[in-house]
Structure 1
Amino acid sequence: MGKLLWRDIRQSLGRFIAISLIILLGVLIFVGVKATGPALIDSAQSVLNKQHLTDVQITSTKGFTNQDIQAAKKVAGAKAEGIKFKYVLGVQSKDAVALYGFTHNTGLNQLKLVSGHLPRNHNQIVLDQRARRLSHYRLGDTYTFSKNANLKHRTYQVVGFANSPQYIDNTTRGATNIGTGQVAYFAYIEANQLNLPVFTMININFPALQKLGTFSSAYKQAVSRKITKLKTSLASRTAERKAEIITAGMAKLRPAEQRLTTAQKKLETAKKSLQTRSQGKMTTTPSLVAQQKKLRLTKQKLTTAKAKLTATAAPTYTWSTREDLAGFSAYGESADRIAAIANVFPVFFFLLAALITFTTVTRMVEESRMQIGTFKALGFSNTAIAKNYVAYAFLAGLLGVILGSFIGNQFLPRFVISIYSEYIFHVPVIHYQWAQIILAAGFSFIATVGAALYVILKQVKEVPAALMRPKSPKSAKSIWLEHLTWLWSKLKFYQKVSYRNLFRFKSRALMTILGIAGGTALLLTGFGIADSIGASGQLQFNQVLHYQAVVQATKKSHLANVRKTIQRDSSYQNSTPVGTSVVKVKSGQHQLNDVNLSVPSVPKSFNHYVQLIDTTTGNKIRFQSRGIIISQKIAQTLHVKKGDTIKIPTSNGKTTSLTVTAVTKNYIGHFMYLSPQAYQHAFHKAPQIKTLFVKLKRTNSRQRTHLSKKWLADNSHVLGVSFTADQRKTVNNMSKQMNPVVLIFILLSGILSFVVLYNLTNINISERIRELSTIKVLGFFDREVTMYIARENIVLAIVGIIVGFGFGNLLTAYVLHQAETPTVVFPLTIHIQWYVVSTLLMILFNFIVIWVAHRHLKRVDMVEALKSNE
């Protein structure tokens, strides 16, 4: 039987390869996409662990001393370091730089050199490797800081370029309130070069947390618990630090107090002297009056300074985690999105492959009825007979599983990681996903070995005589098309035969429709994923947001002055004052952090800047004197709708409840909107309106950079400037990262569709070879014989494509639902051209298969095919 197995493989090599190829494609996409998400995470985790990225960063308005660092270290497992850090401006291009003090014993946030070396003396600087691309710095160049940087030296020699684990995304470095409002790059000089008396930041790392996986919910929860403990540990330091600052401040004021005391004594002496000269009469002079007034003003200033020192001495801490680092959340969300897609798309892909494989193996065994009957007649046992076909199916499946698992697990993740060139994780860390491989192998062997066993066990139950006779052909029946006599009468004979055969072999027709529908659905889903992810940014910045810049003033009272500054620019069109803040929102057990709350000063005209459209009715939303408008993602996350109540914690530790008056369309981020009256009613105070939403004429990147620098330089009351174009660029980058992954889906879907169609057509021809030989003997030309089969394929393809459109939309919607992030909504969007492309591809595949079938049918040995089986 062993020799027979290898002979069967040689004689039906095309079928063997087809089965293996279908299994290979199914396993490749299933295992490969499943491995890509973990590979992205593992590659990032490896770099972050090696460079000891901090878990928590603390900044303070009053800086930190060694006692603060020791207090942080009291939390179990904490490694803490004090860092000197500030934002400064470089002279060239006025770049905003995140400047860090470098110490050789730094253990956290270690730099990874791209070229050069770390600072070795006080006049050397290491730049972010991004500075080479943006400002064209090279090793050996001189770097100059602005005078306001307040450094011991202004010029430094560039000795190295590096990556930092704090800045994983090379397209962004975060925001600041100097320069353009955007950090251009980071830099490191020796810490003693920064004229800072204390540390400005504490970096804290917990080595025990690294095994949890930096993007996992378990890690985030663990960090949250550590922050709670850190706050408790540093709570005692707040009062101590306040006392230290007051003591230091009072020490600085003491010379002035002493001078005041001395001046007061001199004044008293002068008064007494004057009184003596005037023989005891109370008298004075203009000079003494002026001195007394001056001393009184000085005393008032000292009293005010002491009061201000006491009032502002308490330090305020700002807590940051890895999620707050530029580009960090976007990377994690991208990996999660691929993982979410891997839970749906590859599964459907694999099920289609398994279905076709099951059909192919089933047909293969059924075609061997006579051979099985011969073996039984010769006395072979059922087990021996079954072993031959099971081994055939097992080897075909095993070959597909091995190749698919290896290629999918190793090459697909590497390809995707290579696409993420914006990130610093360039060395792939890939582990075999054994659970997914075993699962894929199990399904593969069910589709191959299971199909072979299912059919062979049915076949061996029959007697040899029955098996050695061919199955009786199905009898023809009238079809519904025959009732349309006006149409039926016009059809030619072979056309009528083809249409009858469509209904005669229902299982074959159904399998072909499913195969074509599945292929079309997969292609359409691939295109739909790309369109829908890109549509989020398009809809958000074209239909929802109609302003181009956000300008913040330092105080509410300075907003009018800031508005006058930006109005002078020729690019300015219009603006509206808005109160903005970031709040938490609760509803039941659900909570959302970092929700943008906006209170327009003029609600009636706010729709010119932010289009508020009701998700239910599609109508414009009007502001009410009570209640709040929330974006659709907030409603989904908190499970609330119009008329429900949400709670917002306030600064005094209490919460205020507001009724949801409408849910507005929004695709990126969390936004809530209140009228000034509703805000006053909810929070019992007037909103702090110190932000402008600004409409600009069309501007390019260079013009926006110029505007930002100009506004910040011209008006000291401008706190910050940001542009929606920068946000849009970030969203577009996120979409572009997915495009190559989607392209892989489309390519493999196209290959699978072709293989499926080819395989089903081959099965159809092999099952009907006697029928085709008969009509060929009756005088049909080769072209007519081919059309006998092709006509059926064309009709089934049309039905399959139409059904595939429906499946494609359903599958795309489900994939997008799974792939949605906590802040982004992916609207189902499939452009019309992709329906056309998917249709044309399926038609092309059909024509190629028909052409191959035509060449095969021309060489059919009619005599051999028509030999009697009796």
Structure 2
Amino acid sequence: MRSTASHYYESHKMADAVVKSNADISVSNQKKLKNLDHVKTIEFTKSLDGLIAGSNTSIRVQAKTSQLSTYQVTSGKLPKRSNEIALSKTEHGKYKIGDYISLKNKSNKNISGFKNSKYKIVGFVTSSDYLLKQNLGTTSVGTGQIDTYAVVSKSAFTSDTPTTALINYDNLKGSSYSDRYEKQVEQNVANSESKIQKLVENRKQKIIDKSYTKIDTQLPILQKMYGDKATLIITKEKTRVSTKTNALKYQIQSRNDYNAGYNQFGEDAKRIDVLSNTFPIIFFAVAILVVLLTMSRMGEEKRIELGTLRALGYTKYDTMKVFLSYGLLASIIGTSIGAWFGTTFLPKKIFAAYAANFVIPNFQTPVSWKWIIISLVITIICTVLPAVYVAGSSLKEKPATLMLPKPPKTGSKILLERIPFIWEKLSFNYKVTLRNLFRYKFKSCMTIIGVMGCTALLITGFGIKDSLNNIVTTQYKDIIHYDLIGMYNPTDTTKNIDAYKNRISGIKRINSKTTIYYENVTSKTSAMNNNQQISLIVPKDKNQFSKYVTLRDPNTHNKIRLSSDGVVITQKLAKIMHVSVGDKITIKTSTGQKHRLRISAITEMYAGHNIYMNANYYQKIFNESLTYNSIMMKLNNRSGKNIDNISRQLTKQHASVTVVQSDDAKETINNILNGLNNLVLIIIVAASLLAFVVLFTLTNINVSERIRELSTIKVLGFYPMEVVMYIYRETFILTLLGIIFGFAGGSWLHNYIMQTLPPETAMADMTLFWTNFTLSGIMTVAFSIIVMIFMARKISKVDMLGALKSVD
């Protein structure tokens, strides 16, 4: 996955970092950005958001780049003229080359900043900046989420002044997602932050100085024209300029922060790491047990043949060639087939599951010779050495002795025989069964271990799915009760803000609403490669807030109240930041300011990172009065269609900034579930096949070794079913013991996987349901019954006299 992504990023010349501004980047600041440390290449661009006329589709239109984060044409061509446009590849089915589209703003008017409103579609493209098929970023139009993107020539904009700087560094080593690459990028970004914030402050000061000069020049004229009112006009003007300068910000971000798809793809690859470092070890361990036992049995079966060859004058080496050849051929053929499955079929199936939400094409499956060779070596050791060891031990005996079957193991008293009140109550059949279990200790242990491993894998496979399915219900039934957060610009005019609030009051489908402060902040530890995206929420009415979000202790479920001496943070954030109640966490705002927050409580949450605080603590930490900027809403109809409908109504308002939907986190969870469904199916099928192979192989060996014993009891008059149960009773007991141990092993493995499998922004419910154990146990027992049906047919066809005369 990482190799495929790296190739895709390289082909698009993806930027290492991006500087974004909510205003134009001046020429002087462009020069200063070029002089930042370790900047190899820098390219400036800009974008505008709008709606495709006649639809509800929100679109981000960007200027064409030539050096960094370039666009790859999938059909047609890139735009050259000011009225040409190339759309995202995902729009290919809706539009065709030669069609025309019109772009409008949220007021259904022409977008300010574009020379044209109507564009001819000349091509379809892909971009490394948009790796996800959905949720491409936030916007102030439509539902608050970007639906698609497009590229135009720079001549399509009315101004050449850019708002974004794309950066590549000259001191990076390693490929995308490698620790070496990610840490160096983050270090470069961190080193540049203070310099970039200095640029902002200088820019602010220049705006202020220019405004004061203008005011000083106009003051005599205004006093002459308006008299005493001149002071009021001037005051309205430290206020307008102050608002404008305070809103100005530059923000530098690495790939992990500015590109949600890049981060999510990397997180998916990490989840594969967890699984690939766990399940193959168990599969291989169980398979090794089967191979060891099978090859050891082969050495014993060939005993008479070895004696015959030695009697005919063959050397010890010549007589053992069959074991070397068989072991090597089995290893090479098995490894070859396994390598093919492991480098083509399975990876493609897993990638298809995980990459279903991404637009990254051309999945690469390079041959991993390192792991193939390691697997081959282990397989050769496990197939050749046991057989050679058994045969070698046999060859120490005289040929005449070898030509006789190996005498069966002698029985001995077992522990239960020394407990008369239990032993005397057992029937003859069970006494024989228990003696045989202890008589063949090695095979009994192998069966238990094999079944245990397979049962543990089945429990974990079923448990992974149930654990993740359960968090959607818990999150949106017990914890999150709101549907929308409408963000508005508090520095807009009073008229526009009132219009925004009145629009919300006029929507009858809104059940209830509450005012909050909402801001996106980040936090990270020194060990992290990327910042954690956090939603900072400050309710105006902390008593009413519980109707929208339930803050509760993860263990006791006791309600948590917001205090004036600390913040409440979500459970997964506390875990990955390695903090607990009483510790402090550092957050960084979009303007680059850092603040230390004391943690007063940790609340249960399964998706997304949130920090909750009351107004008093906010003012204490930020040293400024709180200006509320959002309204949190509960809807009567919680369907996605209704949420989108109301979101569009809100973003049409002039004061609107964006709309945050609570089910965005639900979509993150569903993406994880969709990615895991096929993977869980693969695990369950593989574990089932392995369980069947283990039981079949070990039972078959057991029957083969004791064929004379079975013939004897048949001759003595045992009924056919009694003969079958003579063997199956042992298998069934060992299977049940394996299942019981498997329950314990599955619980541990499930807990380990679910601690490490979810991404950094989500956590799973650790509960294992009784159905996970029951279904896994029933499946394993069913496999053992199927095996015994096969064995019953084999036993029924045994030539009793032939088996008993084999010694002669």
Q: TM-score, normalised by structure 1?
A: 0.83
Deviates more, 1:116-125 or 1:403-412: 116-125
* Residue 113 in structure 1 maps to residue 48 in structure 2: no
Alignment of 1:431-830 (within 5 A): 431-464=366-399, 466-469=401-404, 470-475=406-411, 477=413, 480=416, 491=427, 493-494=428-429, 496-555=431-490, 562-583=500-521, 593-647=532-586, 659-713=598-652, 715-830=653-768
1:64 aligns with 25
1:518-548 superposed Cα distances (whole Å, 9 cap, x missing partner): 2111122222222333444443333322221
1:130 aligns with 90
Question: Counterpart of 1:661 in 2: which secondary structure?
Answer: strand
Counterpart-to-counterpart distance in 1, 2:524 and 2:195: 28
Shift, 1:762, TM fit: 0.8
Q: Partner amino acid for 1:181?
A: G
Tell me which of 156, 161, 184 is aligned to 2:147.
Answer: 184
CA 1:235/1:731 → structure 2, altered by over 3 Å: closer, same or farther? Answer: closer
Counterpart-to-counterpart distance in 1, 2:744 and 2:448: 13
Shift, 1:302, TM fit: 6.5
Counterpart-to-counterpart distance in 1, 2:532 and 2:497: 28
Counterpart-to-counterpart distance in 2, 1:306 and 1:819: 53
Deviates more, 1:358-367 or 1:756-765: 358-367
Question: Counterpart of 1:63 in 2: which secondary structure?
Answer: coil
* Residue 145 in structure 1 maps to residue 81 in structure 2: no
Question: Counterpart of 1:78 in 2: which secondary structure?
Answer: strand
Q: Partner amino acid for 2:126?
A: N
1:570-613 superposed Cα distances (whole Å, 9 cap, x missing partner): 22122333333344557898896433333333333433322222
Shift, 1:421, TM fit: 3.4
Deviates more, 1:112-121 or 1:854-863: 112-121
Counterpart-to-counterpart distance in 1, 2:707 and 2:278: 39
1:19 aligns with none
Counterpart-to-counterpart distance in 2, 1:584 and 1:727: 17
Tell me which of 175, 196, 201 is aligned to 2:164.
Answer: 201
Question: Counterpart of 1:172 in 2: which secondary structure?
Answer: coil
1:294 aligns with 226
1:655-696 superposed Cα distances (whole Å, 9 cap, x missing partner): 765543332222223223323344444444444433333221
Preserved contact between residue 680 and residue 686 of structure 1 (Cα < 8 Å): yes
Counterpart-to-counterpart distance in 1, 2:593 and 2:651: 37
Tell me which of 186, 189, 193 is aligned to 1:227.
Answer: 189
Q: Partner amino acid for 1:596?
A: S
Preserved contact between residue 416 and residue 423 of structure 2 (Cα < 8 Å): no
CA 1:397/1:808 → structure 2, altered by over 3 Å: closer, same or farther? Answer: same
1:624-675 superposed Cα distances (whole Å, 9 cap, x missing partner): 3423323222332333333444455789999765543332222223223323
Question: Counterpart of 2:297 in 1: which secondary structure?
Answer: helix
Q: Partner amino acid for 2:410?
A: K
CA 1:79/1:535 → structure 2, altered by over 3 Å: closer, same or farther? Answer: farther
Question: Counterpart of 1:421 in 2: which secondary structure?
Answer: helix
Q: Partner amino acid for 1:827?
A: D
1:334 aligns with 268
Counterpart-to-counterpart distance in 2, 1:651 and 1:862: 85
Deviates more, 1:507-516 or 1:387-396: 387-396
Preserved contact between residue 459 and residue 747 of structure 2 (Cα < 8 Å): yes
Shift, 1:114, TM fit: 3.1
Counterpart-to-counterpart distance in 1, 2:594 and 2:31: 35
Preserved contact between residue 585 and residue 647 of structure 1 (Cα < 8 Å): yes
1:321 aligns with 254
Preserved contact between residue 465 and residue 673 of structure 2 (Cα < 8 Å): yes
Counterpart-to-counterpart distance in 1, 2:694 and 2:240: 79
Preserved contact between residue 251 and residue 590 of structure 2 (Cα < 8 Å): no
Shift, 1:554, TM fit: 1.6
Shift, 1:144, TM fit: 1.0
Counterpart-to-counterpart distance in 2, 1:810 and 1:440: 26
Q: Partner amino acid for 2:116?
A: H
Tell me which of 321, 341, 349 is aligned to 1:407.
Answer: 341
Preserved contact between residue 514 and residue 632 of structure 2 (Cα < 8 Å): yes
Counterpart-to-counterpart distance in 1, 2:210 and 2:51: 29
Shift, 1:427, TM fit: 0.3
Tell me which of 70, 75, 79 is aligned to 2:41.
Answer: 79
Shift, 1:175, TM fit: 0.9
1:132-160 superposed Cα distances (whole Å, 9 cap, x missing partner): 56xx3333322112224022221112222
Preserved contact between residue 567 and residue 612 of structure 2 (Cα < 8 Å): yes
Counterpart-to-counterpart distance in 2, 1:143 and 1:562: 29
Question: Counterpart of 1:62 in 2: which secondary structure?
Answer: coil
Counterpart-to-counterpart distance in 1, 2:350 and 2:756: 20
Preserved contact between residue 490 and residue 629 of structure 2 (Cα < 8 Å): yes
Q: TM-score, normalised by structure 2?
A: 0.89
1:173-230 superposed Cα distances (whole Å, 9 cap, x missing partner): 2111223211121122232222225112122234764x62222232222222333565
1:228-287 superposed Cα distances (whole Å, 9 cap, x missing partner): 565577678657756876798899x69x969x98x79xxxxxxxxxxxxxxxxxxxxxxx
2:287 aligns with 353
Structure 2: give runs of 5+ residues left out of the alignment: none
1:426-458 superposed Cα distances (whole Å, 9 cap, x missing partner): 201222222322322232223222322443343
Preserved contact between residue 468 and residue 869 of structure 1 (Cα < 8 Å): no
Counterpart-to-counterpart distance in 2, 1:245 and 1:802: 74
Question: Counterpart of 2:552 in 1: which secondary structure?
Answer: coil
CA 1:615/1:307 → structure 2, altered by over 3 Å: closer, same or farther? Answer: closer
Q: Which has the higher helix share?
A: 1
Preserved contact between residue 708 and residue 804 of structure 2 (Cα < 8 Å): yes
Counterpart-to-counterpart distance in 2, 1:767 and 1:387: 23
Counterpart-to-counterpart distance in 2, 1:116 and 1:297: 61
Which protein is bigger by CA-based radius of gyration?
1
1:544-569 superposed Cα distances (whole Å, 9 cap, x missing partner): 22221112232298888755432332
Question: Counterpart of 1:667 in 2: which secondary structure?
Answer: coil
Preserved contact between residue 361 and residue 451 of structure 1 (Cα < 8 Å): yes
CA 1:529/1:436 → structure 2, altered by over 3 Å: closer, same or farther? Answer: farther
Question: Counterpart of 2:370 in 1: which secondary structure?
Answer: helix
Tell me which of 845, 848, 851 is aligned to 2:786.
Answer: 848
Count of equivalent residues: 794
Deviates more, 1:77-86 or 1:331-340: 77-86
Preserved contact between residue 69 and residue 81 of structure 1 (Cα < 8 Å): no
Preserved contact between residue 567 and residue 600 of structure 2 (Cα < 8 Å): yes
Preserved contact between residue 88 and residue 148 of structure 1 (Cα < 8 Å): no
CA 1:306/1:111 → structure 2, altered by over 3 Å: closer, same or farther? Answer: same
